[in-house]
Chains A and B, each alone.
Chain A
Amino acid sequence: MNRTPPLARFAMTIALWTFVFFLAFPLVWLVLTSFKPSAEIMQRGAQLLPDTWTLENYRQALFGERILQTAFNTFRVAVASSLLTLAIATPAAYVLARRPGGVNKPVVGWILISQTFPMILIIVPLFMILSRLGLGNTHLGLVLVYTVWSLPFVLWMLRGYVRNVPVEIEHSAAIDGANHFQIITRVLIPLILPGLVATGLYGFINAWNEFFFALVLVKSPELQTIQVNLARFRGVEGLARWGPLAAGSVLATIPTLILFGFLQKGLVSGLLSGGVKQ
């Protein structure tokens, strides 16, 4: 069936792998840099592979640069916010998926609008509201902000998953006397569990990677997230610290890289199924 001439296929293969090189090389360079001794990193005429491989940068990043502490902070915030997002989004997704029309329009409208406005517009009032609630400069405040911030996409995906569940199952549970709470917890949640896991991981990654809110809303160094820590220690320490910085960056990327590996299929299909109308 393939009519493309061999020469064209050869050119296309070269083009494909040029793209792959462009997209993957910076990560490769970062990883290799993280294993180079400081003197080698700053050498002119940079080499791809380290002459001497060293773990010194990792040692310094882990024990000297508060990477562990800030990673733990971020992990706490990310887990709490993704669980909270699922807890409030699941019943909402159930309503949206099973009540056609009516509430759906304003909610979908809000999901779209929330994508358009810049965060600078809400950050100042958000800061004021959080302070008034006594949540300024706290992890709980950040958890709530991340929850609301992930919610549109999570809701969109979960609505799609719920729609794929045959409604008859819920009807028969209702006939057996189950109330709405029981239908959600005993019937729906087990059926959409893979979707919940995928969406929860999405929320986790979202929070783990987030920078702007964490930069503005959290002031105490001991509460800082890992992204702010990495962005900051570039600013203050300057050039000489590239080794530990590269090592810290590799460590901070590993969780998201692994989770994305699991997720990519589910995310794309969830994104598309959320959009399918029935």
Chain B
Amino acid sequence: MRKSGMAIPLWLLIPALLPVLVFSVAPLFQGIWLGFTDYELGARETRFIGFENFRYMLEDRQFWRSFRVGGVWTVAVTTGEVVLGLMLAMLLNARLPGQTLARVLVLAPWAIPPVIKGLMWRLIYHPDAGALNGALISLGMIDRPIQWLTSFTWALPAVIVVGIWSSLPTTTVVLLAGLQAIPGEVREAAAIDGAGAWGQFRHVTLPLMWPVIMSITALQAMWNFNSFGLVFVLTEGGPAGSTRLPMLFAYEEAFQFGNLAYASALGTVMTLVIGLVLVAYMRTQFRAAQGGTA
């Protein structure tokens, strides 16, 4: 008789491994390498130029600007969706009237392609025909239409709201699954001990949910920082770069100006930033978790 485990041959991995190596691992390394060259669209030859692209980046105000926009966007969207997602998950778990229907409706944005999410919100934000200005004017809250997506003041907040809207369902579903895994007896025991609603949340729900909250925050922050399609359709990074996320900046550099090497270097820096922030985040969270239980 065959023994379990050892008998299964590794070559069964090859059909999956080969395309991953050719279309994912190889381009990744080549992309990192390109960042150290002067490769441009249509260039005859490519030279290795060391850290030249990265040195240029430090003096490039567009770069700093787009990474600052990316930072604001990532922190605002991630915080918003996790805080609101936790609230929504708890509401969906509270046996309120219409709970089943609400659970289905809440998932609506999940199913929608990013491009169409962007188009939908352009319709909502449209200065003349949009639902938002229409509602605000008829409520008497504003008397002139606001140019949501083309004003320096409003474009970034408006885009952030769409970002939160767009990823709220995923976050909520994950957090709801986490909530449902908490045995009811735990909370009942706390209630019997005299804990109020806030006390139960603070001392029972939150600590038990912490690992789930931590992982979904990290994942979403990563995805948000690398986000492209939604904002591309909403504003294309405008007005004057005020919503130009790092991915949009890199895309412009690569495919509008042909600076393929510089765009690749930007990609490398994006990866580094994400990596460093994640490591730092994991560390502080890990310490906080240990300090909390001690």
Task: Let me know if B91 and A260 touch, CB within 8 A.
Answer: no
Q: Does B205 contact A (CB under 8 A)?
A: no
Closest A residue to B22 by CB, please name it: A129
Task: Let me know if A144 and B98 touch, CB within 8 A.
Answer: no
A171 contacts across to B, CB distance below 8 A? 1-2, 4
Task: Let me know if A268 and B173 touch, CB within 8 A.
Answer: yes
Task: Let me know if A30 and B120 touch, CB within 8 A.
Answer: yes
Residue in B5, B110, B123, B275 whose beta carbon sits within 8 Å of that of A30 in the complex: B123
Report how many A-B pairs have Cβ atoms within 8 Å. Answer: 280
A7 contacts across to B, CB distance below 8 A? none
Q: Scan B1-43; emit 1 where CB is below 8 A from any A CB, else 0.
A: 1101111111011011101101111111011101000010000
Q: Does A119 contact B (CB under 8 A)?
A: yes
Residue in A2, A124, A211, A256 whose beta carbon sits within 8 Å of that of B254 in the complex: A124
A117 to B223, CA, bound (A): 9
Residue in B115, B128, B145 whose beta carbon sits within 8 Å of that of A231 in the complex: B115
Q: Scan B95-114; emit 1 where CB is below 8 A from any A CB, else 0.
A: 11110001011111111111
Please provide the chain B residues from 69 to 125 with a CB less than 8 Å away from any CB of chain A in the complex. Answer: 84, 87-88, 91-92, 94-98, 102, 104-124
A46 contacts across to B, CB distance below 8 A? 129-131, 133-134
A1 contacts across to B, CB distance below 8 A? 188
Residue in A30, A98, A120, A125 whose beta carbon sits within 8 Å of that of B26 in the complex: A125
Q: Does A182 contact B (CB under 8 A)?
A: no
Residue in B27, B91, B109, B123 whose beta carbon sits within 8 Å of that of A33 in the complex: B123
Q: Does B137 contact A (CB under 8 A)?
A: yes
Residue in A41, A145, A155 whose beta carbon sits within 8 Å of that of B23 in the complex: A145
A95 contacts across to B, CB distance below 8 A? 8-10, 12-13
Task: Let me know if B16 and A23 touch, CB within 8 A.
Answer: no
B177 contacts across to A, CB distance below 8 A? 268, 272
A47 to B134, CA, bound (A): 8
Taking the closest CB of chain A, its distance from the CB of B280, in whole angstroms, is 14
Residue in A23, A149, A180 whose beta carbon sits within 8 Å of that of B105 in the complex: A23
Task: Let me know if A26 and B121 touch, CB within 8 A.
Answer: yes
A30 to B118, CA, bound (A): 11
Closest B residue to A205 by CB, please name it: B111
Task: Let me know if B168 and A23 touch, CB within 8 A.
Answer: yes
A130 to B176, CA, bound (A): 42
Task: Let me know if A12 and B124 touch, CB within 8 A.
Answer: no
Task: Let me know if A174 and B2 touch, CB within 8 A.
Answer: yes
Q: Does A35 contact B (CB under 8 A)?
A: no
Q: Scan A113-145; emit 1 where CB is below 8 A from any B CB, else 0.
A: 011111111111110110000000000000011
Q: Does B186 contact A (CB under 8 A)?
A: no
A256 contacts across to B, CB distance below 8 A? 111-113
Q: Does A27 contact B (CB under 8 A)?
A: yes
Closest B residue to A110 by CB, please name it: B20
Q: Does A43 contact B (CB under 8 A)?
A: yes
B250 contacts across to A, CB distance below 8 A? 118, 120
Q: Does A151 contact B (CB under 8 A)?
A: yes
Task: Let me know if A264 and B2 touch, CB within 8 A.
Answer: no
Taking the closest CB of chain B, its distance from the CB of A178, in whole angstroms, is 11
Taking the closest CB of chain B, its distance from the CB of A18, in whole angstroms, is 10
Closest B residue to A148 by CB, please name it: B23
A3 contacts across to B, CB distance below 8 A? 191
Residue in B6, B32, B188 whose beta carbon sits within 8 Å of that of A121 in the complex: B32
Q: In the complex where A30-B120, A98-B5, A118-B226 touch, is A13 in contact with B96 (Cβ < 8 A)?
A: yes
A120 to B286, CA, bound (A): 31
Task: Let me know if B260 and A124 touch, CB within 8 A.
Answer: yes
Q: Does A197 contact B (CB under 8 A)?
A: no
Q: In the complex where A43-B129, A91-B12 touch, is A29 in contact with B107 (Cβ < 8 A)?
A: no
Q: Does A63 contact B (CB under 8 A)?
A: no
- 9 smallest CB-CB distances across A and B, nearest first, come from A121-B267, A125-B27, A260-B111, A125-B30, A46-B134, A209-B113, A92-B16, A91-B12, A122-B27
